[in-house]
Chain A
Amino acid sequence: QKEVEQNSGPLSVPEGAIASLNCTYSDRVSQSFFWYRQYSGKSPELIMSIYSNGDKEDGRFTAQLNKASQYVSLLIRDSQPSDSATYLCAVSLNNAGGTSYGKLTFGQGTILTVHP
């Protein structure tokens, strides 16, 4: 089992629709969760972080975390063609000392295409 798994995609949605991206993780001690957006040929760009169970909203983006189910998701409302990119879910795993020192474990990414 992979440590972090994302819905395989690619995901195609029409402009204006809601895009739903999902991620599950295997390590229950994971404490920090991130969504990165990566345009083709570019580096990952942080768009959302979430640390507590529930929803976190930032503009058109909503991250949802359920630690009991080991599940984190990203919703993009009113999707725009400029949202077309690969979305990476990343998890920060605590070591025995309680700090992750910058280690993120990434999923394989989900390619999102928003068509006009």
Chain B
Amino acid sequence: DAGVTQSPTHLIKTRGQQVTLRCSPISGHKSVSWYQQVLGQGPQFIFQYYEKEERGRGNFPDRFSARQFPNYSSELNVNALLLGDSALYLCASSLAGSGNTIYFGEGSWLTVV
């Protein structure tokens, strides 16, 4: 079975630009969450979506937005990119609910120059 798939794997953007990252969850998983991992730190929670509704949001500015589609895939959008947005963006999927195992995709490496 396919795991969590993310695209693109690597991208370089200029300050002020916008970026869209895409994620397809494991088949049957209805919950998708997004994390940002800056070099040398643990992942930080950005968003969680379940059944196409936002269920949680981390401490990130409004420049960050996301959505989930009827097929449970998801997009993360970041506007007005800053140098500090350079990070590994991880998508994770799970069945739902408390304690369910969360599986990560390979991530999208974003470099802002």
In the complex, which of the residues A46, A49, A99, A104 contacts B43, with contact meaning CB atoms closer than 8 Å?
Answer: A104
Residue of A nearest to B99 (CB): A32
Stretch in contact with the other chain, from A14-22, A61-69, A106-114? A106-114
A88 contacts across to B, CB distance below 8 A: 42-43
Interface size on A, residues (CB 8 A): 29
- Determine the interface band of chain B, counting residues with CB < 8 A from chain A: 20 to 34
A44 touches B50 (CB 8 A): no
A89 to B92, CA, bound (A): 16
A100 touches B43 (CB 8 A): no
| Residues of B12-35 whose CB lies within 8 A of A | 31-33, 35
A43 to B108, CA, bound (A): 10
Residue of A nearest to B57 (CB): A103
* CB within 8 Å for A101 and B99 given contacts A43-B104, A108-B42: no
A32 to B43, CA, bound (A): 17
A106 touches B44 (CB 8 A): yes
A105 contacts across to B, CB distance below 8 A: 45
A104 touches B97 (CB 8 A): no
B43 touches A101 (CB 8 A): no
A42 to B58, CA, bound (A): 23
Which B residues fall within an 8 A CB radius of A? 31-33, 35, 40-45, 48, 50, 55-56, 58, 88, 90, 92-94, 96-107
| Extra A-B contacts (15), CB below 8 Å, given A51-B99, A95-B56, A102-B33 | A43-B106, A44-B90, A46-B102, A88-B42, A100-B99, A101-B48, A101-B56, A102-B31, A102-B102, A104-B33, A104-B43, A105-B45, A106-B42, A108-B42, A109-B42
List 6 tightest A-B contacts by C-beta distance, closest first.
A106-B42, A32-B99, A102-B33, A101-B55, A43-B104, A99-B98
Q: 7 interchain pairs (CB within 8 A)?
A: A51-B99, A90-B42, A102-B102, A104-B45, A106-B43, A108-B41, A109-B42
